[in-house]
Amino acid sequence: MNDPRKPMFWRDSRMPYVELRVVGDGRKVCYAPHSHSQWSLGAIVEGNSTFVYRDNQYKVSAGTLVIMNPEWIHACNPIDNQPWGYLMLYIDTNWLTNLRYEIGLLDTPCWQDISTAILSSPEWYAGYCRVAECLLRTDSELLEKQTVVVEYLTALMFELADQEVVSQPKPPDNLQVLAAYLKEHAIEEVSLDTLCEISGYSPGHLIRTFKHYFGFTPHAYLINYRIQRGQHELKQGIPIAETAFNTGFADQPHFQRTFKKLLAATPKQYRQSLLNQQIDTTGGE
């Protein structure tokens, strides 16, 4: 039987655009602020938690959906050691962009952020749980899983399309160049002097301005990106030690500590998918 205190992940190589995380007892699951390259949709199935999303903070409880745009900083943590369980869908951004474009919600196949952060509708929550249950059932056929995912997300995208479009301030060109530099040199040791030379800013001004536009300091941005790369490699089956080296960490223990700090799961837990396991998604006994 699965230990409900340990985070678990469902993946299927035939559906690379969707990943599901299951946490049955999240009282010991604590996140540092982080972001994902995917669009994320979570369901609180038990208890209460605090959802920090950019500059806002929400108290969310069972029956609530939380929505996270790609690369938006967030953290969701339990309140006073109260019971807390959740499901989290990670949807590939390019795949979801194409879905929204093909159904006529985007004029061009370019990602557009969604303004809604919280969805409290029982209907959408129940639909979410049905999707998760289908993905986790061992007797669900591939076509059934693909269908429920596309049907639910298509309907949800139409529901959210009436919301006001989010307009975020675009970083200056020099900061966009700097962010690209950090990604390109992610496995190297990067100095603040070099970043100042590239951006033309003083150290203090650079850190403040970069954080204003990206939500991270340059160093935190670099670490977050390394962990994103680490997730990708682990999903490909690359050994943990090799992934640590490939993503620029000094050693495997450093990679493991950082991975768990940001994602509240160890690299080993993340590698283990739930393709052939069945889990109760109701949050009950």
Q: What is the pLDDT of residues 33-75, one digit of tens each?
A: 899 999 999 999 988 888 889 888 899 999 999 999 999 998 8
Proportion of the chain in helix, strand, coil states, percent, rounded to 5? 40, 20, 40
pLDDT band at 275 (very low <50, low <70, confident <90, very high): very low
- Nearest Cα to 156, choosing from 132, 133, 186, 123? 123
pLDDT band at 76 (very low <50, low <70, confident <90, very high): confident
Residue 103 clears pLDDT 90, i.e. is over it = yes
| Average pLDDT value for the chain | 89
Residue 168 clears pLDDT 60, i.e. is over it = yes
CATH number for region 173-269: 1.10.10.60
Q: In this predicted structure, what is the pLDDT of residue 8?
A: 85
Q: In this predicted structure, what is the pLDDT of residue 142?
A: 96
Q: Which residue has the higher pLDDT, 157 or 281?
A: 157
pLDDT band at 271 (very low <50, low <70, confident <90, very high): confident
- In the chain, CATH 2.60.120.10 covers 8-167
Residue 167 clears pLDDT 90, i.e. is over it = no
- What 8-state DSSP symbol labels residue 210? H
- In the chain, CATH 1.10.10.60 covers 173-269
What distance in Å separates the CA atoms of residue 70 and residue 166, rounded to the nearest whole number? 13
Q: In this predicted structure, what is the pLDDT of residue 284?
A: 38
Q: Residues 278-283: what's their mean pLDDT?
A: 40
Q: In this predicted structure, what is the pLDDT of residue 166?
A: 66
Q: In this predicted structure, what is the pLDDT of residue 279?
A: 40
Q: Which residue intervals of the chain are DSSP H helices?
A: 93-102, 122-136, 142-160, 173-184, 192-199, 203-214, 218-235, 240-246, 252-263, 267-271
Q: Residues 6-21: what's their mean pLDDT?
A: 90
pLDDT for 127-164, tens place per residue?
999 999 999 998 999 999 999 999 999 999 999 997 76
Residue 18 clears pLDDT 90, i.e. is over it = yes
Three-state secondary structure call for residue 76:
strand
Level-2 CATH architecture, domain 8-167: Sandwich (2.60)
Q: Residues 74-82: what's their mean pLDDT?
A: 77
Q: In this predicted structure, what is the pLDDT of residue 272?
A: 79
Radius of gyration for the chain, computed over Cα atoms and rounded to the nearest angstrom:
19
